[in-house]
Structure 1
Amino acid sequence: MPVRLNRCFIWKGKHVVLQNIFTLIIETIASVLGGVLLLRFWIQAVRVRPPQQLAQFIFTLSDWAVRPMRRLLPGVGGYDWASLIGAVVVAVICILLELGVRSALSASLIFSLSALLFFQWVFYGLIALLIIEAIFSWVNPNAPLAPFVRALNEPLLRPLRRIIPLIGNIDLSPLAALILLRVVHQLVIYLIMSVA
């Protein structure tokens, strides 16, 4: 009897490992695609021209999803709604695939987890842009990507720079933005979880 339980335990262990590997692959692909779609939306929203190689990467990776969606969701008000909705769809598909593997499908659970994943991509993407700008400012302010990243962060930092003065010629607005993003992130998590 112990041998049989042991084999059952080993099989369940392998099954869990395979689920985790599948989840890792799905989350990685979805995060890259969702991040690219959100970056594409943000680039067009702030009207920044990315460097040629980066633009080629972004558009090559996302055109297959964005172009068909543009027929249904044309850009309105200068915003690329197809890219934004595409990121939401990727989040929903990711959650459906993950939950499908675990056989736990519930509409409220799918909505909540998809919204959490989408907003996680948004917040972590903005945080990454702020950190990249900080690194550029310390290491190489004249790096080829520095003006592009600075332009992407400008809508987020401009209001804070009006409020927070330079202290010793150091701009603390990125730090304030990071703190505010974390606070808003926590509030969004709370709101989504309270709705679910």
Structure 2
Amino acid sequence: MYVLGYFLQALAGVIHVILMTATIIVIARAVLSWVSPDPYNPIVRIINQMSEPLLFPVRRRVPYISGIDFSPMIVLLALMFVDNFLVPSLQRIAVGLIQGG
């Protein structure tokens, strides 16, 4: 069972890196929305393309309030919740499998 434990530990690490990358991308998108960047800049285009799948479903359900888009904040809270709940849970299960096996 220790092999499954190590697999779960590695999976938890990969999920953590993916969630932190998504967090950085959403924050970058929010910061870019405060300025008027060149929409043809390749970096701006990549950030927009990577963040839109995360933001669009929330943006579709949550209306703008006084012209403020709260979707980045909601997505960041969801990412933080998943990172603080799922990753430690997987790590705890992995440690139990490694020690018990």
Residue matched to 1:149: 47
Q: Aligned equivalents of 2:16 and 2:66: distance in 1?
A: 34
Give the C-alpha shift of residue 109 in structure 1.
4.7
Please, which runs of 5 or more residues in structure 1 have no aligned partner? 1-105
Give the C-alpha shift of residue 194 in structure 1.
4.3
Alpha-carbon RMSD:
1.9
Residue matched to 2:28: 132
Matched, 1:114 2:10: yes
2:68 aligned residue (166, 170, 187): 170
Please, which runs of 5 or more residues in structure 2 have no aligned partner? 95-101
Matched, 1:191 2:89: yes
User: Percent of aligned pairs with the same residue?
Assistant: 26
Q: Aligned equivalents of 2:84 and 2:10: distance in 1?
A: 16
TM-score normalised to structure 2 length: 0.76
Are the equivalent residues in 1 in contact too, given 2:29–2:47 (CA < 8 A)? yes
TM-score normalised to structure 1 length: 0.42
Count of aligned positions: 91
Q: Aligned equivalents of 1:142 and 1:166: distance in 2?
A: 24
Using CA pairs under 8 Å that are at least 6 residues apart, name the structure with larger relative contact order, 1 or 2: 2
| Ranges of 4+ aligned residues in structure 1 off by more than 4 Å | none
Are the equivalent residues in 1 in contact too, given 2:59–2:71 (CA < 8 A)? yes
Change (3 A) 1:153 1:165: same
1:41-120 superposed matches below 5 A: 107-120=3-16
